Structure 1
């Protein structure tokens, strides 16, 4: 019975002394990964897919110039790469915060754009991406910033 008590004390102590920011740190990396994959995938689709095929998936792309669609794709790619790569490599990690800000602004404009076109059913995805980007902005900007790599 003494061994059980010692085990219980050891377990409760390890739980109590666990870093309080561990769950937040994991959540931030998961959010950054989700944003990376979503924005990079969307960017690749918008930059590489022929406009007629793209218009079948996203009707707005057939109603705007090809240059506009491709630029939006490049912005998506830059946001996706910027949300993860600087933090992951610890090279200019403040760029992750700026990318999160840019992705947040992009989603606000995307929501306004889709609502103005009567495409409100597509906005839940934009709202989720906005929430994730704001979470990364808050977390990496104020709570758990990534330290730059020493050179």
Structure 2
């Protein structure tokens, strides 16, 4: 079980570090120009940067406490935070009638929920 949790945590950290990092580092207009992030057209630069920062914090929160052995209680808290991020993402995509990103959002939500529950119970 621990291997499965570590795998899920690693995958979540990888995905959210990249996604959050891009949102924090790149200008919103450049991200919108890719054609895959149309939801950002309706959001401010600050909102996009805030989402990116939350994603980075969640990524660090699911890895660093276990890797360092310090404050392991933060792992399920960070994982719940990532569940909330995905609920928000699902809401935004559904309201914009964007169906393509939904499977990835659901998979990330389930992975984060698995980590949250697994680290609370285990």
Normalising by structure 1, report the TM-score: 0.77
1:137 matches 2:116: yes
Moved more, 40-49 or 56-65: 56-65
Q: Runs of 5+ in structure 1 lacking a partner?
A: 1-23, 145-151
For these two proteins, the number of residue pairs brought into alignment is 120
Match of 2:77, SS state, is: helix
1:47 matches 2:50: no
CA contact 2:39–2:92 (8 Å) conserved in 1: no
In structure 2, distance between residues paired with 1:124 and 1:109? 14
In structure 1, distance between residues paired with 2:24 and 2:41? 14
Report the aligned-residue RMSD: 0.9
**Could you tell me how far 1:135 is from its partner in structure 2?**
0.5
In structure 2, distance between residues paired with 1:138 and 1:70? 28
CA contact 1:54–1:62 (8 Å) conserved in 2: no
In structure 2, distance between residues paired with 1:51 and 1:102? 23
**What's 1:16 paired with?**
none
Of structures 1 and 2, the one scoring higher in RCO (CA 8 A, sep 6+) is 2
Listed as ranges, the matches of 1:66-105 within 5 Å are: 66-105=45-84
**Could you tell me how far 1:42 is from its partner in structure 2?**
0.5
Q: Runs of 5+ in structure 2 lacking a partner?
A: none
In structure 1, distance between residues paired with 2:104 and 2:54? 17
**What's 2:103 paired with?**
124
Normalising by structure 2, report the TM-score: 0.94
